[in-house]
């Protein structure tokens, strides 16, 4: 009889512990009442959001609903192992549909587009990714790095990197 009471007490305690554990995971914060003195801050934030939205929709180069990636910096230096005279660039999502020729990149001395690759997004409904390989007139590392920096100044370029040489034994 005493064993049954201890077992029953143990089960009740286990049940209460489990109930407390799960209820703490499902707690919700009580609603916060608005502070009337904070109305100015809320109004300012709303105005900032509206201004940002206006800036995006007023930009003639971007279509509605298509995002723009932040620039990826070019970190190449003269000691890196890359092919001089080749630039690999990523195109911003809003410009994926643009037609590009060597003349489109005349400011960096592009003589040919040697590769034009499009990939689906990493997630469903995301923008298509487009990457171009450019053959440059310069055949020096210094000239290639200067061309990459110029390419990054363009609005439609997401990133610009050299064509790195990857060796099997480096893996």
Mean pLDDT of the chain: 74
Q: Report the pLDDT value the prediction gives residue 112, as an integer from 0 to 100.
A: 97
Question: Which pLDDT score is estimated for 148?
Answer: 96
* CA–CA separation, 74 and 80 (whole Å): 12
- Residue 120 pLDDT greater than 50, yes or no: yes
**pLDDT tens string 147-168:** 999 999 999 999 999 999 876 6
Alpha helices (H) in the chain, listed in sequence order: 2-25, 39-58, 141-152
Residue 114: pLDDT above 80? yes
Domains of the chain: 82-165 (3.30.70)
- Coil vs helix vs strand at 129: strand
């Amino acid at each position: 009889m005493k064993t049954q009471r201890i077992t029953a007490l143990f089960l009740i305690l286990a049940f209460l512990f489990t109930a407390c554990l799960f209820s703490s995971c499902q707690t919700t914060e009580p609603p916060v009442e608005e502070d009337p003195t904070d109305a100015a801050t809320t109004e300012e934030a709303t105005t900032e959001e509206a201004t940002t939205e206006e800036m995006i929709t007023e930009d003639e180069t971007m279509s509605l609903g298509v995002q723009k990636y932040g620039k990826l910096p070019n970190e190449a230096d003269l000691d890196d192992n890359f092919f001089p005279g080749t630039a690999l660039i990523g195109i911003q999502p809003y410009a994926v549909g643009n037609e590009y020729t060597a003349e489109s990149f005349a400011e960096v001395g592009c003589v040919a587009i040697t590769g034009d690759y499009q990939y689906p997004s990493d997630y469903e409904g995301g923008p298509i990714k487009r990457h171009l390989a450019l053959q440059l007139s310069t055949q020096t590392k210094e000239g290639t790095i200067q061309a990459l920096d110029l390419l990054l100044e363009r609005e439609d370029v997401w990133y610009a990197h050299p064509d790195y040489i990857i060796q099997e034994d480096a893996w």
